[in-house]
Amino acid sequence: MNLDGIVSAYEVRDRVARLGEWPFLKCLAYAAAVANSFSPLLVNALSNQDYGQAMIQAAVNGAISFPASYVFSRMLVRYRCESMVDELTGLPNLRALKQRMPEELSRAYRQQSPVFFLQMDLKGLKYVNNNFGLDAGNQLLLEAVLRMKEQLRPYDFVGRCSTTGGSDEFVAVLPLGSNYPNNGLSGYAYSVCERIVDSGSRSPIEFMNGRFSERISPEFRCGALVYSPPEKNGHAFDSCGESAEILKQLGILLVDVKSRNEIIVREFGRKENVHNFPTGKL
């Protein structure tokens, strides 16, 4: 079976328009595998969801031409880049966060330096969407992102990432060296949360829907999870396992922040709060 008889490089645009890029590439990769009776290298590539490598291997085995393989691989590269970014805000998304976290945790382990994670949610987005429309909600969201980023360092990771299923949630990753303010890790984490919360309350935005207008500020609720890496003991460090557990604890943290309406700072692996102070009535 030769897949060029089914899908040539020149037909890619039409097929993608009908099927969508990702389903098209995925199905084509599996078709290539079937054509090659699932050779070991193809099976390995598909099991790792590495469809670009599957295309290359299919070309090597003669199931698809190299020009078509090249086109498909380039499409995958573009897809992966686009799939890491939130379309509206331009911030990294949850997929990007899951890729970044193991890297940051591995660095923290090597350097034996702490890192903390901020979990934030934007108050009032649903209210603005319902009363003033989605464009107004987008305006609120974009202004919130600008104010939030002003309180973080240029190299800090901040993404529009949901750990509880909401569309108005953000996660920031702040790596730290050995030098941080005298108020300690938890105190420093709290001060960053406080700055972000305070930044949202200034300069409200006026929204109008033809019947009435209202001035609304992009206010945040915020919590922090402080992570101190384990001491080096000669054993392999499971950065992926730690990342999964951190995401789980961030989701729990945000639920508590929302229910208590407080800035909450916790240490990784502990349920009790290090700091929690009222941020104002909802």
pLDDT for 231 beyond 60: yes
pLDDT tens string 39-78: 555 445 545 555 555 555 555 555 555 555 555 555 555 5
**So what's the pLDDT on residue 8?**
42
Verify that 156 and 45 share a domain, yes or no.
no
**C-alpha dihedral sign at 110, 111, 112, 114:** negative
pLDDT at residue 11 is higher than 50: no
Q: Tell which residue, 243, 237, 145, has the closest CA to residue 199.
A: 145
Residue 156 lies in a domain: yes
Q: Please give the pLDDT value at position 200.
A: 83
What CATH number has the domain bearing residue 158?
3.30.70.270
Does 170 map to a domain? yes
Domains identified in the chain, total number: 2
Q: How far is it, in rounded angstroms, from Cα 132 to Cα 149?
A: 25
Query: What is the rounded CA–CA span in Å between residue 49 and residue 104?
Result: 23
The answer on 115 and 8 residing in a single domain is no
Same domain, 33 and 152: no
Do 101 and 75 reside in the same domain of the chain? no
Burial (Cβ within 10 Å: 0-12, 13-18, ≥19) of residue 45: buried
Describe the crossing of helices 66-82 and 12-19 by its angle, rounded to 10 degrees.
40
pLDDT at position 13 is 43
Q: Is residue 87 part of a domain?
A: no
pLDDT above 90: residue 222? yes
| pLDDT tens-digit map of 75-103 | 555 555 556 788 888 899 888 899 899 99
Q: Give tens-digit pLDDT for 138-150.
A: 999 999 999 999 9
Query: Do 256 and 201 share a domain, yes or no?
Result: yes
Greater confidence (12 vs 53) lies with: 53
Same domain for 108 and 57: no
- 260 compared with 163, residue with greater pLDDT: 260
Whether 84 and 96 have beta carbons less than 8 Å apart is answered as yes
Domain range for 56 is 3-82
Do 45 and 134 fall into the same domain? no
Domain boundary residue, one of 82, 116, 147: 82
Beta bridge partners, 225, equal 117, 266
Rg (alpha carbons) of the chain, rounded to whole number = 23
The mean pLDDT of the chain is: 76
150 and 190 both lie in a single domain = yes
- Classify burial at 121, counting beta carbons within 10 Å of its beta carbon; exposed 0-12, middle 13-18, buried 19 or more: buried
Q: Verify that 7 and 106 share a domain, yes or no.
A: no
